[in-house]
Structure formats: C-alpha cells, structure tokens
Structure 1
Amino acid sequence: MKNKSLLSRFLIWRMKNIKERQFVLILSFIVGIISGLAALLLKTTIHQTHHFLTHNLHVDSVNLLYLAYPTVGILLTVLFVKFFVKDNIGHGVTRILYAISQKNSQIKSHNNYSSIIASTLTIGFGGSVGAEAPIVLTGASIGSNLGRMFHLNYKTITLMVGCGVAGAIGGIFKAPMAGMVFTLEVLMLDLTMASLIPLLISSITGASIAYFFMGKGVLLSYTLNDSFVLSTFPYYILLGVFTGMVSLYFTRVGMYLESQLERIKNRYQKLILGGLALGIMIFLFPPLYGEGYTTIQALINGNIDGLVNNSIFYFLRDHYWLLLGYVVLILAFKVIAATVTTGSGGVGGIFAPSLFLGGLSGFFVARFLNGFNFVKLSESNFTLIGMAGVMAGVMHAPLTAIFLIVEITGGYTLFVPIMVTATIAYLTIMYFEPHSIYTKRLAKRGELITHNKDKAVLTLMKLGKVIETDLQKIDPDASLGELVKLISHSHRNIFPVVDDEEKLLGIVLLDDIRHIMFNPEMYDETYVRNLMTMPPAVLEANAPMDRVMRRFEETGAWNLPVIMDGKYLGFVSKSKIFNVYRRVLVHFSDE
C-alpha cells in the first residue's frame, strides 16, 4: 500500500510539473538503460555457460558431449517454463507484434526476466538459435510494464515497447542505428518526430551501456583487405538473389517443420526427439552449436578451420570442392537445427541463425566462383555481405540488415555492396513471400498492424465490441399478429428469426411486411417462417474487421448478423463500425 501511495503521489506531481513529451524522453532514457543492462546480462550468461561447457574440448577430435548438451539445455528450459513461468515465451518478436495489435501493448511482467533465463539455458547448452529475440522481448516487456506503471496511454506504451526493443538491440549488438531502424521496420511504428527521438535515446543509451562495460570491440571484427571493385558489382547482385532464395528456404522449411513439431502433443516426447535430433546434427556439424558467431568470425578472418573444428569431417579442410559440399550441408541443416531447437521447447530467435546462414552463403558463393579461376572474389567480404542478404530476406527488413552489418563489423567501406545485396535479397523473397517469418502467422489471422493506417485501425478493432444485441428475436412459428405486437415495442426495423437452440434461421425486415402488417385478417393466418428472408451474409464472431468490411462492401448491406458456432449473437451495423473506427483512429494516431 505504501508503494502504491508513493507512486500515486509521484504521478500527481509528474502531471503538475513535467509535460507529457518531456516525461516520455526521460522514460525512454530509463528504458534504454534497463534494456541495455538486460542485454549485457544475457550476453554474459550465455558466454560464460558456453565457455564452461566447451573450453576443454579439442578442436581436432570428435566430442561426444555435443550429443548430450542440447538435450540437457532444452530439458532445463522446458522445466523452467513449465514450473516457474507457466506461459509461452517463444517467438519473441511475433509475441510483441501480437501484444501491440491485440493486447493494447501490454506484455506480462515475467517477460522482464524469463526470456533471459530460458535462452541462457537453451543457447548456452548449444541450442542452434540466437539470443536476440529473447532480449528483444525482454526490452519490450520492460518498456510495456514501465508504461503501464506510469499509467500512460496506448500509443505511448507502444512507443515505450519500441524503446525497449531499440535499447535491447543497441545493447546486444552495439548497434544504435540498427536498433532504431528495426523498431520502425519490423514493429512497424510510425516514423514521426514524436517517436524518432525517444527511439534514438533508448538505442544510443543501450549501446552506450554495452560500450561502457565491454569496451569498443565489435561483435564481429573485420579488417578490409580487399576494397570494393566496380567490376564485381554483378556478383553482388548474384549474391543477393542467392541469399534471397536461402531466406525463402529458411522461412518455408522452418515454418513447415514447426507445424509438424506442433502436432506432437506430449512435450517430453517432443523434447527427447528434438534434443536427440539436434545433438546428432551438432555432433556431425559442430558449427551448428550455439549462435555460430565463432564460425562466422573465422570465415571473415579467412580461417576455414572454423568450419571443421571438433568435427568428424576435419579432414575436409584440405579438400576444396568437398569442403563446399560440407558447407551446403551446414546451410541445409542449420534451418532444421534452429527450428528443432525452438520447436522442441527451447527459447531463442532467428537473428543469429540468419546471420550464420548469410555468412556461410556469402562464403559459398565466393569460394564456388573462385574455384573456376575466372574471377577472384574476396571470401571475407562476401561472408560479411551475405549476412545482410539473408537477414534482409528472412526479416523483410533491408534497412535493419544494412545498418546492423555495418555497425557490428565496422565495415562502412562496403556500404554500397551491402545495400545492393540486401535490396536484391529483399526483392527476391518478396516475389514469393509477402510476409516475413515474424508476421506470417499474424497476417493469416488478421492480427498484424502495418504502416497502412486504415488496416492498422481495423486490426485494432474487435468485432465483439461493435455487436448490437438490442434487436428483438422472434420464433419462426410465431404469427404475424405476434410479430406486429413485437414491432410495436421495438425501435429497430430488423427482427432476427431464431429457433429454440438460438440458431439463426433468417431475418424479417420491417419494409418487407409493411404492406400486410395493418391487415388484421392475416394476423392468425400468416407465420414468420413465410415472411423471413435470408440475410445477404452472415459474420462469424471471430472474423477480423478487414474481412467484415469486405463483406459489407460485397453485399451493399447496412446491417449483418453475427453468429458463433451457428448460434445467433447479434447484429453489426456500418454506422456503429464507423463511429468506433473514428474513436480508434484518434486513439491510435500520433498526431
């Protein structure tokens, strides 16, 4: 009670002394600090766990522990989620998008810490996923819960969610521009000055926290040995197409495997099957262990040993073309490994797998073309630029990919080929997949907010909120006289006809019976079943609002009935929708 009293007094003082816009800027700074510290904590715990488990392994020998670690990690994650969290914390970015569109940007408070613990267990023990989605969900949760604590409105809480995401990405990657751009591009927040400044503050603050505690080093150090040559321009276009197709493979195969794993209802059976499969894949292809940044760093440095260390295929380091075949297998199995990790109960994201696939794709393209001796391409440059290609394709976020790769490597000298490859990859996958791996599930259910204001407002509206239930129902066996009596007590001109089980059989329109309703001789001879007509369309109660509006446009109707499981619920009218639409638009708008 004392804490609530202090908070209430602070809120009153804040309203009197600090303007809303100034308070948002202050809060964005606080969110950036907390998100940056959370990113630092997650990064450190994963690294320490990984180091503790693997520092005694020998690079030139087979390590059977790779078979056991992933299963143990996923088991610990499943137990933690089941007995402590008791909620689904997977698909971090998708959950944020869902919260923005369906939950008024409210994210449960356990996400402030649960994703950090769960992803440490998963990734530290070798789960083939990234830490970025969990920390993004953590940052979003921090912003959401601070916004709710200070009683902010929906659009400001949504902005705080974006600030948490920007701060988390800025902190884990030391990439403030990428953090801000990701928020605008993937979370689809509107680009206005009211949102831009807080996002910048949070992302810069998060990155500053990382620099303060971890120094100036970048995630992937890069030294330019081969500058960009204009004659290689066509090969970067080719790399863009190739990484776009790899992105398509990641999206479709990943979602297919995930749907198959969801069919296994027993979580422990799923865990054992997934853990064993992941362990075998990592045993055969050790680069699949964990996030994979060590392998990418080795390729950027020109050290191919990073591909075969700890592997039964160590001998391939001296075989040019066989090594390329080995790379193709790693590319193919990385998608399977990442999906199996999350699908069997692990917690992680697709940032790191996207970068890993991109790096290997770039290395493969350059080494493959170099093998024919008609061109000499920089394998380290292509490794770096390939990361931007796959990230742009998988996330449908070319700007995020461009800024992220430039910031985490310091590779500003390759800005032009990075832009070319990322753009071509994005255009390639867009031809086949209009939605990213983050948004595809939500778009299918009509729960995705986009930059299209009209669609965004319709997504925020719920059919259940506009159903009118004040219409008088009548039985099909009722007489015209009973109907006229009902009309005299009603202020509506539509009368739904329902049976004893509340099933909608038809409707009676006042205009259709006006010519006989004043003829008493027909009162006992005419029945409602002979007067009713079928409505032009019937709406399901769970229908998204964009589908509802399409039905109104197709039928030209002004009122349509709503049912659930065949039972009548009420009517929805255009006028009610337009009134609510206007209120939501004002509520949603930044202006």
Structure 2
Amino acid sequence: MLKKSKIKLYIFIRKFRYQNPQIFIYLTSTLIGIIGGISAVVIKNMVTLTEELVYHNSKIRFNYWTIFFPAIGILLTILFIKYFVKNDISHGVAKVLYAISKNRSKIEKQNTYSSIISSSLTVGFGGSVGLEAPIVYTGAAIGSNIAQQLNLTLKLRTLFIACGCSAAIAGIFKAPIAAIIFSLEVIMLDLSMWSLIPILISSTTGALISYFFMGDKISFYFAVFEPFDKTKIPFYIVLGIFCGLFSLYFVKINRVIEKKLSEQKNIYFKACLGGLGLGILIFILPPLFGEGYVGLQHLMGNYPNTIMSNSIFFSLDDNSFSLICFLLILLFIKVIASSLTTASGGIGGVFAPALFTGGILGYIFAKIINLLQWFKLSEHNFTLVGMAGVMSGIMHAPFTSIFLIAEITGGYTLLFPLIVVSTIAYLVKYKFDKYSVYTYSLRKNNQLITHNKDKEAIRRLNIYDLIDQSFTTIPLTLTLSELVKTVLPNSNKNLFVVEKNTGEFVGIIQIDDILDILLDKSKYENLRVADLVIPPPATISLNQDNESIFKVFDKTDAWYLPVIDNSKYLGMLSKSKLLQKYRKLIVDFSED
C-alpha cells in the first residue's frame, strides 16, 4: 500500500513538473529553503547544547584539564566520520565546488546530516573554526538530493545546490541578501534571472525559519555606528591593504599547517597532536574557543578589555597598550588555532575565523591611530569593516563580505567604507595569490570550477570516456606485404598505431601518406612498418588538463591524436568527438 502511494505521488509530481515547470521550481526552492533553514537552526542549537554539556559550569572551561577537550572533540569527530560517514567531509565549500565541477552536481545523501553532527562535536568541544562551511555543505546536499530524488537535469541540480547553500547561510546569519550573493559569487556558474528567483526564494525562506525559531536579534545588533566621515577614506584604504596582506598570511599559514599534518598518516595521533596544541592555545588565549563571536562582541562593547578575561594576560594593567599587545598575539595565533583544528581532523570552516581576525585587525588599526592622537577613528566601525576586508581577501568574495557585514549589523550605514576595504583587500590578496582558501586545492588537482561557461564546459569533459580504442595496432616488425594482405582488408580506418613488441608506443602510419608506395608492389617485400612509421604531430597524456588538450589540437590542426600513459598506447582522441561533447555541454548550460 505504501509503495503504491509513493508511485502515485511520484507520478503526480512528475506530471505537475511538466505542466507547471516554473511553479515547480519555485515550490521546490521553497522546500529547500525550509529544510536548509531548519538545518541552520539545528546546527546552532547542537553546538550550544554540546558546549553546555561539556562546559556546564563556566569555571570548568578554565581548568588545566580542559586542555584535552578540543582533542577529545576532534577524536570523536574522526570516529564518527570513519565508522558512520565513511567518507571525507572536510572543507565543505570546496566539496560543493568539486561536486558541481566533477561529479555532475551529485552529493551523497549522508551529507545532509553528517556535517551537522561532526561540526557540532568539533566546535562544541572548543574547535577554533566556524559552522558556515559545514552548513553550506549540508544545504548543498539537501538541494542536490531533492533534485536527484526528482530525477532532475544537471542544470536544475546545480541550481538547487545553490538554493540549499543560500538557505543555509541565510539561516545562520539571518542575512538573505549576502546568502544569495554567496551562492552566485562562490558557488554558481552564471547569473541570470532564471536562477536568481529560486535562490531568492530559498534564501528568504531560510532566513524566516531562523527568525521564527531563534528570534529576530542580529549578531551585532548593539554595535554603535558613528556617521561615515569621508575625510577618513585614506585610513580605510590603508586598512584594506593591511586586510589583504593579513589574508595572504592566513591562507599561507593554513596551507603550511595542513601540509605538515597531512604527512602524519596515523589519524588518531594527528588528532591528539593537533587537538592538544589547540587546547593549550585556548587555555592561554580563551577567545580562541569556538567561533569567536563572543570575543568580538566584547571588543565592540563598552569595556573591550573584558576580552582578556580568564586569560593569563588579565592580570596586566588595564590599559590600551596591554590590550593592543594581547589582540596582536590573538590575531596571529587565531590562524594557527583554526588551521590546527581542520588539519588534525576537525570539521569547520574559515568564515568565523575570517570575521574574527578581521574584526581584531580593524580594531587594532583604529586603536593605534587614536592613541597617536593624530585623528579620531571609530573603533566600532573599523572593527566591522575589518571583518569584511579579511573575509573578502581569504574567500575572494568581496560582494558577499560587503553585504554580510551590512546585514548582520542591522543597516547599510557603512556601505561605502565596506566597499573600499573589501575591494582593496581582495585586490592585494589576488596580486600575490590568485586562489582563495576554497579553490587552491581544487586548482592543484584540476578540479576548479569557473564562472566562464566556455571554459567550464571544457573542464567538465571526461577525456577518458572519449578515447577511441577501435584503431588497429600493428607491430614494428611487420612487413609492408603483411600489412597490405592481413591488416588493411580488415580495417575501415586509414590510420594505424605502431607499437614495439613490449607494447611501447612508436608512432603512426597514415594510409594517405603512403599511397604511392602501396601502388608499387615491388617495394612490398623490402619495406617494413619500421620504415614507414612517423611520429604523430603530438600526443595526449591523461595528466593534461582539458584546456591544454584543446590547445594541442588547435596548434597541430590534427583530427586524431594518440593518448599515451607511461609510453603505453591507450587509444585515439578525436577532435570531432571533443567538439561534439563540448557543444552539448554548452547547450546544457545555456538552456532556460
């Protein structure tokens, strides 16, 4: 009975989809928004609950034995992933980009919940990372799996992945506009009204769900804005440069630590090593605990020195110099703490660390200028603008950074300085390092998605599937007579591949090139294949990226090129097949 009901429901949905395609997309994006918003609420509450269970007494957090808690959280995360998930779920945003670029926008069903549980364990026990990357991966998995269940096209799967990401970000930050821009700036291939409306629906729905369950307070709703003063623009420009340089430091340190810890193959030892290091850092600098938003709120409150509470630095004189020294140490160590968390096996993202370090950098900058008594700068405003600057540099997402800070602070008073700092920070970082924290590893493995539809179509081609193995291979020692009598009559090709007895590729023979010889029978017994073989204009390697393969075909003007792997012939690659598959992908991307 239940099976019949499912079949009837599936038939009804399918019929409705074809009769009302636009309404179907809007309703599906609403459903994704609801589930994505609920996921954001769940992950926030699970982290809060985990923290309360582990650190049920505020004094517990500052005992010596709590140094081991982050390591315990990372170990629990690793065990959950190893025995229940059985798949790598780290670097959530990069995983989403990979799924779109290389896996036809398909994400496994278990990822609709695995990142929620694992990041709750990591962050709840003190991991110095954010929840945004895990919830983005969760939202993307929700969108992808709904699309897969409904047997939708690649384009709709990709669209609903973006809808899920938007709903999740909007639910976490209550910032629907920033969530939309994040999906278009970081996740999506192309911007069109066709894709914008469903993303808008999902984003708004996710934010409304969050407001309904978690109240209407905005993260930094109490921040006091001072009127924007255009005479301070030079200081915002300088801050943008500092934010860009710090973003470069952030990603470089992150890559170094991840590379070093990846050399350790024992995952349990790595978790203990990284977790204990993190625990020690948190004990010395308590604001490193978790996402760090509480520390930012202290900094923007009436008594910023309270950020040093419960640290070994709290006994220092309550003056601005002590605070600046503490914040400088915190600024650079936060990057190490965040990198240790993820590199040792914890699950989390760089959203929160970027906002945390950016806020501290902006505050330090304004505080130093004020102490010099040259000018009077708003420490609140520079803290908020610094958050956008570092986030823009690390993520290469200036638009997302601008609108996120504007929304979570409850207004657009700082829009102009946000634009200035975010743009400059991005440009400075891009000057020295062209890849964001999300795209670096993907680019190394030729898995990077692009916003250029032509390039993306080329990169999505699976070259291995296009290899033609129907071409006849002949030995180097074969005589011309044997070639004419035994090989040519059984083949409809005019090109033959020549190999040594060991299977090593030698070259090719094209019949059109030796027609004059074939017409002279007196040469049949005297000539061998070795006398006729020529090297191809070029060879293709499976290690080459797709763009370089197209360039090789253009340069050689060849229609067929052999694919070689370790001197072994694998097959022929046809230019016509490449172009045919490329055109099909372009049509898939472009159709509305």
What TM bracket, shorter-length normalisation?
Answer: over 0.9
Q: Contact 1:62–1:312 (CA<8 Å) still a contact in 2?
A: no
Q: What residue number does 2:175 align with?
A: 175
Q: What residue number does 2:67 align with?
A: 67
> Residue 38 in 1 paired to residue 35 in 2?
no
CA deviation map 1:107-127 (0-9, x unaligned): 001101110000000000000
Q: Contact 1:308–1:316 (CA<8 Å) still a contact in 2?
A: no
SS of residue paired to 1:505: strand
CA deviation map 1:452-480 (0-9, x unaligned): 11111011111112211111111111111
Q: Contact 2:540–2:562 (CA<8 Å) still a contact in 1?
A: yes
Q: What residue number does 2:297 align with?
A: 297
Q: What residue number does 1:482 align with?
A: 482
Distance change (3 Å), C-alpha of 1:7 and 1:448: farther
Q: Distance in 1 between matches of 2:223 and 2:331?
A: 25
Q: Distance in 2 between matches of 1:531 and 1:209?
A: 73
Q: Contact 1:469–1:571 (CA<8 Å) still a contact in 2?
A: yes
Q: What residue number does 2:588 align with?
A: 587
Q: Contact 1:129–1:348 (CA<8 Å) still a contact in 2?
A: yes
CA deviation map 1:202-237 (0-9, x unaligned): 000000001011111012223334221111111111
Q: Contact 2:223–2:380 (CA<8 Å) still a contact in 1?
A: no
Q: Distance in 2 between matches of 1:222 and 1:479?
A: 88
1:120-135 equivalences under 5 Å are: 120-135=120-135
**Amino acid of the structure 1 residue aligned with 2:535:** M
SS of residue paired to 2:436: coil
> Residue 284 in 1 paired to residue 284 in 2?
yes
SS of residue paired to 1:571: strand
Q: Distance in 2 between matches of 1:416 and 1:470?
A: 62
1:102-501 equivalences under 5 Å are: 102-316=102-316, 318-485=318-485, 486-501=487-502
> How high is the TM-score relative to the length of structure 2?
0.96
Bigger shift: residues 264-273 or 26-35: 264-273
SS of residue paired to 1:318: coil
Q: Contact 1:463–1:543 (CA<8 Å) still a contact in 2?
A: no
SS of residue paired to 1:314: coil
Bigger shift: residues 563-572 or 47-56: 47-56
Q: What residue number does 1:510 align with?
A: 511
1:563-574 equivalences under 5 Å are: 563-574=564-575
Q: Distance in 1 between matches of 2:12 and 2:317?
A: 67
Q: Contact 2:291–2:353 (CA<8 Å) still a contact in 1?
A: yes
Q: Contact 1:292–1:356 (CA<8 Å) still a contact in 2?
A: yes
> How high is the TM-score relative to the length of structure 1?
0.96
CA deviation map 1:517-560 (0-9, x unaligned): 22222222211122112222221224331121122233332221
Structure 1 unaligned spans of 5+: none
How far did 1:189 drift? Answer: 3.3
How far did 1:35 drift? Answer: 0.5
Q: Contact 1:356–1:387 (CA<8 Å) still a contact in 2?
A: yes
CA deviation map 1:161-187 (0-9, x unaligned): 110000000101101111111000001
Q: What residue number does 1:15 align with?
A: 14
Q: Distance in 2 between matches of 1:227 and 1:351?
A: 28
How far did 1:266 drift? Answer: 1.0
How far did 1:514 drift? Answer: 1.7
How far did 1:569 drift? Answer: 1.0
Q: Contact 1:224–1:411 (CA<8 Å) still a contact in 2?
A: no
CA deviation map 1:333-390 (0-9, x unaligned): 1111111111111000111011011111111111121221111111111111111001
Q: Distance in 1 between matches of 2:293 and 2:65?
A: 20
**Amino acid of the structure 2 residue aligned with 1:42:** I
Q: Distance in 1 between matches of 2:227 and 2:53?
A: 39
SS of residue paired to 2:562: strand
**Amino acid of the structure 2 residue aligned with 1:364:** I
Q: Contact 2:129–2:341 (CA<8 Å) still a contact in 1?
A: yes
**Amino acid of the structure 1 residue aligned with 2:413:** T
**Amino acid of the structure 1 residue aligned with 2:448:** L
CA deviation map 1:239-295 (0-9, x unaligned): 111111111111122112111111111111111111111111111111111000000
**Amino acid of the structure 1 residue aligned with 2:13:** R
Q: Distance in 2 between matches of 1:317 and 1:159?
A: 55
SS of residue paired to 2:44: helix
Runs of 4+ aligned residues of structure 1 deviating over 6 Å after TM superposition are: none
Q: What residue number does 2:547 align with?
A: 546
Q: Distance in 2 between matches of 1:5 and 1:407?
A: 47
Q: Distance in 2 between matches of 1:204 and 1:20?
A: 21
How far did 1:317 drift? Answer: 5.6
Q: Distance in 2 between matches of 1:151 and 1:344?
A: 38
Q: Distance in 2 between matches of 1:248 and 1:338?
A: 15
Q: Contact 1:287–1:306 (CA<8 Å) still a contact in 2?
A: no
Q: Distance in 2 between matches of 1:431 and 1:7?
A: 55
SS of residue paired to 2:536: coil
Q: Distance in 1 between matches of 2:591 and 2:235?
A: 43
**Amino acid of the structure 1 residue aligned with 2:170:** G
Q: Contact 1:316–1:323 (CA<8 Å) still a contact in 2?
A: no
**Amino acid of the structure 2 residue aligned with 1:503:** E
Q: Distance in 1 between matches of 2:123 and 2:399?
A: 27
Q: Contact 2:295–2:307 (CA<8 Å) still a contact in 1?
A: yes
SS of residue paired to 1:515: helix
SS of residue paired to 1:216: coil
Distance change (3 Å), C-alpha of 1:111 and 1:474: same
Distance change (3 Å), C-alpha of 1:244 and 1:66: farther
Q: Distance in 2 between matches of 1:408 and 1:194?
A: 27
**Amino acid of the structure 2 residue aligned with 1:515:** D
**Amino acid of the structure 2 residue aligned with 1:117:** I
SS of residue paired to 1:87: coil
Q: What residue number does 1:527 align with?
A: 528
Q: Distance in 1 between matches of 2:348 and 2:453?
A: 31
How far did 1:21 drift? Answer: 1.9
Q: Distance in 2 between matches of 1:534 and 1:301?
A: 73
Structure 2 unaligned spans of 5+: none
**Amino acid of the structure 1 residue aligned with 2:365:** V
Bigger shift: residues 504-513 or 572-581: 504-513
How far did 1:74 drift? Answer: 0.4
**Amino acid of the structure 1 residue aligned with 2:516:** H
Q: Distance in 2 between matches of 1:317 and 1:435?
A: 42
Q: Distance in 2 between matches of 1:489 and 1:317?
A: 93
Q: Distance in 2 between matches of 1:31 and 1:187?
A: 16
Distance change (3 Å), C-alpha of 1:304 and 1:295: same
Q: Distance in 2 between matches of 1:253 and 1:533?
A: 51
How far did 1:55 drift? Answer: 5.1
**Amino acid of the structure 2 residue aligned with 1:275:** G
Q: Distance in 2 between matches of 1:402 and 1:446?
A: 30
